[in-house]
Structure 1
Amino acid sequence: MANFSSIVTGLTIFGYWLLIISITIRILSKRRAISSAMAWLLVIYILPIIGIIVWLFFEEFYLGKRRLKLASTMWSKRNKWLNNLKSRNFIFENNNSEVATSVFQLCKHRQGISGIKYNKLKLLKNTKEIIKTLIQDIYLARNNIEIVFYIWKPGGLADDVAIALIRSARRGIKCRIMLDSAGSLEFFRSKWVTMMRNSGIQIVEALKINLYQLFLRRVDLRQHRKFILIDNYITYTGSMNLVDPRLFKKSSKVGQWIDLMIRIEGPVAITMGIVYSCDWEIETGKKIFPKQPKYKIVALPKNNTSAIQIIASGPGFTENIIHQVLLTSIYSARKKIIITTPYLIPSDDLLYAICAAAQRGVQVSLIIPKSNDSILVKWASRVYFSELLESGVKIYQFEKGLLHSKSILIDMQLSLIGTANLDMRSLWLNFEITLVVDDSNFGRDLFLLQNEYISHSKLIDPKLWAIRSYWRKVIEKLFYLLSPLL
């Protein structure tokens, strides 16, 4: 009996170390950032059982075999559609502004198409007005409405959108809605799901969370895109979830969430439709190919270079593209950079790029919310302040709510707006979407909005920050250790 017990113990110890070694090799073979690899190794070796479980659920399974297979083949199936798009040479802009040239060349090389022109852009900053404009477009829709959101929280303004969609579906408009399972949990438990489906609206619960799925993919991989496509011609995208800011997360006591969206009319909607069709196929296995409408050409001012690139990220999409675009944009800056982000956990490369820009004489301003709904991010992000401030970056803390807008303006010309935060999750994990806009008129509008944010913010004094209390520095460092996993 004693011998049997010794054999079982020996096999258990051998199996345990074999698993630890195999995971170690797996971490090192993925060629991830050293900080991230070290964080995972520390977790696994210091808290072995917990570390192994966390690794399996949050790293190894990732997207799941079925979805991953679809994701790896979906773009090849859309080559015909893309070739048809490329045949319309008149919608592409190959002569970009000086600051945007490198970024657009990168996007063309990695995504296969040039920037698209002949688009009418409008920057929207007030949620109530955004919803009002959106509802008008929903009622005017003639063919189809495609929607994807991370969060849809029933109540208030969100219910007005639901009613408009139901009425449009009943008059024959093809409506598809895709919502993240975790982010839109309240919606999927509400009456609206049944009401919408009864009206003919197709609703998909993206990356569904249940016990079965826990063993098939990463549970923290999220569908974080936020965009609406109407008649394959009008599109909305930006930072706003489909919520009423007066009702959303009131218990967090951070004030109303402040967002921005872009409304676009024009051929760039074709590429948005391609992204949506890929997401839909990954979730449902079904192919959808929206019709390509006959576009009205929007007259552009003379001598004005205007073009848009759509950057879509996530499993199956162009790898590391958002990170590369961010770095290229920042290194292209010569005069001014203004960044707004609610969550600041940059990669080392991104941090160094921002600091280097300030050190070479570029005016760099960073606007973040003073109050944050994530205590982990709130404390971990502060570790970066010292290095940024020492480099000459101005850091503004927005005081009139949770500034949720994600925007970057380079030299008043190149704008990046979308769903991606400056954190590891947005840069390398989630399904995100970012618009890269080369347009001086749009840049001016974004500049005015960002300056409005600054007017409601407090500038951090580098001298006062340097003498903050010791216990605050300790807490920041402790949360910083978790930053590669955030």
Structure 2
Amino acid sequence: MTTLYVIINWLLLFSYWSLISGITLRIMMKRRSVPSSMAWLLIIYILPLLGVITYILFGEPNLGKRRIKRSKALWPSTVRWIKNLKRYQQIFSDKNSEVARALFQLCEHRQGIRGLKGNQVKLLSKSEDVLHTLIQDIGLAKNNIEMVFYIWQAGGLVDRIIESLVEAAWRGVYCRLMLDSVGSIDFFRSSHPTLMRAAGINVVEVLHVSFLRSFLRRMDLRQHRKMVLIDNYIAYTGSMNMVDPRFFKKNSGVGQWIDIMVRMEGPVATAMGVIFSCDWEIETGERILPPVNINDIVSFEKKYSHIIQVIASGPGFPEGVIHQALLTSIYAARKKLVMTTPYLVPSDDLLHAICIAAYRGVKVHIILPRNNDSILVDWASRAFFSELLKAGVLIHQFKGGLLHTKSILVDDQLSLLGTVNLDMRSLWLNFEITLVIDDDDFGRNLAKVQEEYIANSHLIEAKSWSNRPYWQRILERFFYFFSPFL
């Protein structure tokens, strides 16, 4: 009996260390930042069993076998679609401004497509305007409506959006909705999905969360895009979820959420349609590549001059392209760089690029919400302030609500807007989308919005920040430890 216990103990010990060694080797073999690898190793060796389970659940961007299989299967048809689109050379831009040239070259090499010209673009900086304009466009839709949102919450003008979609479905418009399971959890618990499906709207709950699925794919991998496509020639994207800020998270203590969206007409809608079709096929298995409406495209190409590139990220899309695009944009700055983000937990490369821009003499502004809905991110972001302030970066804390806008403006010419936060989750994990717009008129419009944010912000002084209480510094460093996972 004693011998049996000894054998069992040795087997358990061997299994334990084999598991620890296997996870350690897996961490070391993955190409990731050193701080992230070290953080994972510390967690695993300080809290071995809990650390191993946590790594299995959250350590790698595992999409799940079924979705990975679909992702691989869709690319040949997507490549053929892009090749077909390239036949219409008149819709592609062959020149860019000096500040945008490197970024557009990067996007062409990483995504296989050049910037699209001939787009009409309108910046919508007020949520009420976004919802009213969207209601009008839905009312005029003739063929199809596709939407992707992280959060969909009924109430206020969103109820009118739902009514407009139901009416569109009844008159024969094909409507598809992809909503994230976590972000839209309250919506899926309500009666609205049943109502919409009864009208013929195809509502899909994306990336379901459950205990059993947690061991098959990473649970914090989320569908974070915000996109609307109408009749393959109208498109919206930006930072705004499908919520009415007057009714959203009223008890959170951070005020109303402040967002921007961009409404577009032209070839860019066709490109965004490909992104939606990829997401749709990965989730449902159904192939719905959009048609190339070249007649509509050519008519817009003759009327408008906005040049746009669309960057999509997430499993199955070019790895690290968002991160590379941000770095390229920052290094292209010569005079002024303005960044707005609700969550600032940058990679070391991004942090250094921002600081180097300031050291080069670029006037760098970062605008953040003064009150944040994430305590972890709020404290972790403060750990970067000292280094940024030392470099001469101007950090503004917005006082008019939770500033949720994600935007970058380089030299008043190159604009980046979309769903990407300056944190690890957006940069390396989630399904995200960013617009790159090379146009000085649009840049001036974005600059006006950013100036309004700055006017309603508190500027952090380097001297007063250096005199903050010591206990705050301890909390900042503690939460900074978790920054690779935020």
Report if the CA contact (8 A) 1:221-1:430 is conserved.
yes
Matching of residue 353 in structure 1 with residue 353 in structure 2: yes
User: Within 2, Cα distance between the matches of 1:61 and 1:89?
Assistant: 36
In structure 2, the CA distance between the partners of 1:198 and 1:237, relative to structure 1 (3 Å rule), is same
2:13 corresponds in structure 1 to 13
Question: 2:462 matched to 1:462?
Answer: yes
Partner AA of 2:307 in structure 1 = A
- Tell me what 2:374 maps to: 374
Kept after mapping to 1: 8 A contact 2:281/2:288: yes
Are 1:179 and 1:205, in contact at CA under 8 Å, matched by a contact in 2? Answer: yes
Q: Secondary structure at the match of 1:19?
A: helix
Q: Return 438-447 or 72-81, whichever deviates more.
A: 72-81
Amino acid at match of 1:101: R
Aligned equivalents of 1:3 and 1:212: distance in 2?
A: 37
Counterpart of 1:297 (choices 296, 300, 311) is 300
SS at match of 2:242: coil
Q: Give the Cα–Cα distance (whole angstroms) in 2 for the partners of residues 60 and 155 of structure 1.
A: 36
Contact 1:166 1:199 in 2 (8 A): yes
- Distance, in Å, in 2 between the alignment partners of 1:60 and 1:298 is 42
Q: Which range moves more in the overlay, 110-119 or 291-300?
A: 291-300
Aligned to 1:222: 222
Q: Distance in 2 between matches of 1:108 and 1:117?
A: 14
Q: 2:41 matched to 1:41?
A: yes
1:400-419 alignment, distance < 5 Å: 400-419=400-419
Aligned to 2:263: 263
Distance in 2 (alpha carbons) for counterparts of 1:414 and 1:61: 31
Displacement after TM superposition at 1:73 (Å): 3.2
Kindly indicate whether the alpha-carbon contact (under 8 Å) linking 2:61 and 2:221 is maintained by their aligned counterparts in 1.
no
Instruction: Using structure 1 for the length normalisation, give the TM-score.
Output: 0.98
**Greater shift after overlay, 336-345 or 5-14?**
5-14
Change (3 A) 1:137 1:61: closer
Whole-Å separation in 1 of the counterparts to 2:61 and 2:225: 21
Q: Deviations over 1:119-146 (max 9, x none)?
A: 0000001111110000000000010000
Partner in structure 1 of residue 187 of structure 2:
187
Deviation at 1:278, TM superposition (A): 0.2
* Equivalent residue, structure 1, for 2:448: 448
Q: Is this contact kept in 2: 1:180–1:206, CA < 8 A?
A: yes
Give the aligned partner of residue 240 of structure 1: 240
Kept in 2: contact 1:120–1:298 (CA 8 A): no
Give how far 1:389 is off: 0.3
CA deviation after TM superposition for structure 1 residue 216, in Å: 0.9
**Cα offsets for 1:203-227 (capped at 9, x unmatched):** 1110011233112100000000001
SS in 2 for 1:232: coil
Contact 1:96–1:306 (CA<8 Å) still a contact in 2? Answer: no
Structure 2: gaps (5+ residues): none
Aligned residues of 1:126 and 1:259 also touching (Cα < 8 A): yes
Q: What secondary structure, in the 3-state scheme, does the structure 2 residue paired with 1:63 have?
A: coil
| 1:297 alignment partner AA | F
- Offset at 1:59? 2.2
Q: Quote the residue 1:54 is aligned against.
A: 54
Greater shift, 342-351 or 287-296, is seen at: 287-296
Aligned: 1:104 with 2:100: no
Contact (CA 8 Å) 2:91, 2:301: kept in 1 or not?
Answer: no
Match of 1:158 in 2: 158
Deviation larger for 399-408 or 203-212: 203-212
Q: Secondary structure at the match of 1:249?
A: coil
Moved over 4 A (4+): 298-301
> CA–CA distance in 2 between the matches of 1:61 and 1:386?
31
**Structure 1 residues 40-89: Cα deviation after superposition (integer angstroms, max 9, x where no partner):** 00000001111011001112471101111222332222122111211111
- Counterpart of 2:317? 317
Matches within 5 A, 1:110-189: 110-189=110-189
Query: Is this contact kept in 2: 1:346–1:422, CA < 8 A?
Result: yes
Equivalent-residue separation in structure 1 for 2:73 and 2:106 (angstroms) = 23
Query: 2:99 aligns to what SS in structure 1?
Result: coil
CA deviations on 1:348-398 (whole Å, 9 max, x unpaired) are 000000000000000000000000000000000000000000000000000
Q: Secondary structure at the match of 2:434?
A: strand
How far apart, in 1, do the equivalents of 2:60 and 2:221 lie? Answer: 12
1:474 is the counterpart of 2:466: no
Q: Any conservation in 2 of the 1:61–1:215 contact (CA below 8 Å)?
A: no
Q: For 1:144-167, what per-residue CA distance to the aligned partner results, in whole angstroms no more than 9, with x for missing partners?
A: 000000000111121111110000
Aligned residues: 483
Shift of 1:306: 3.6
Gaps of 5+ in 1: none
C-alpha distance in structure 1 between counterparts of 2:121 and 2:103, whole Å:
20
Q: Which moved more, 1:365-374 or 1:54-63?
A: 54-63
CA distance, structure 2, for counterparts of residue 289 and residue 220 of structure 1: 28
Aligned mates of 1:72, 1:421 — CA distance in 2: 27
Tell me the SS of whatever aligns to 2:75.
Answer: helix
8 Å contact from structure 2 (residues 336, 362) kept in 1: yes
Q: Distance in 2 between matches of 1:440 and 1:73?
A: 40
CA contact (8 A) 2:61 2:429 kept: no
* CA deviation vs aligned residue, 1:200-253 (integer Å, no higher than 9, x gap): 000111001123311210000000000100000000000000011011112211
- Does the 8 A contact of 1:311 with 1:322 survive in 2? yes
SS in 2 for 1:176: strand
Partner SS, residue 250 of structure 1: coil
Q: Contact (CA 8 Å) 1:71, 1:317: kept in 2 or not?
A: no
Structure 1: how far apart are the matches of 2:303 and 2:106? 25
Distance in 2 (alpha carbons) for counterparts of 1:259 and 1:193: 25
**1:34 Cα deviation (Å)?**
0.1
Between the aligned partners of 1:143 and 1:84, the Cα distance in structure 2 is 22
State the percentage of identical aligned residues.
59
Partners of 2:19 and 2:130 lie apart in 1 by 52
Q: Does the 8 Å contact 1:125/1:261 carry over to 2?
A: yes
Distance 1:357 1:276 in 2: 35
Between 446-455 and 282-291, the greater mean CA deviation after superposition: 282-291
TM-score of the superposed pair, with normalisation by structure 2: 0.98
Alignment-derived partner of residue 434 in structure 1: 434
Residue 300 of structure 1 and its aligned partner are, at CA, apart by: 5.8
Whether the 8 Å CA contact 1:120–1:264 is kept in 2: the answer is yes
Output the amino acid matched with 2:300.
I
Conserved? CA contact 2:61–2:315, under 8 Å: no
Of 217-226 and 61-70, deviating more is: 61-70
Query: 1:61/1:428 Cα in 2 relative to 1: closer, same or farther (>3 Å)?
Result: closer
CA positional deviation for 1:401: 0.3
Check the 8 A contact 2:121/2:306 in 1, yes or no. no
Superposed CA RMSD:
1.0
Corresponding residue of 1:95: 95
Q: Is the 8 A contact 2:398 2:454 kept in 1?
A: yes
Question: For the Cα contact (< 8 Å) 1:61–1:216, is it kept in 2?
Answer: no
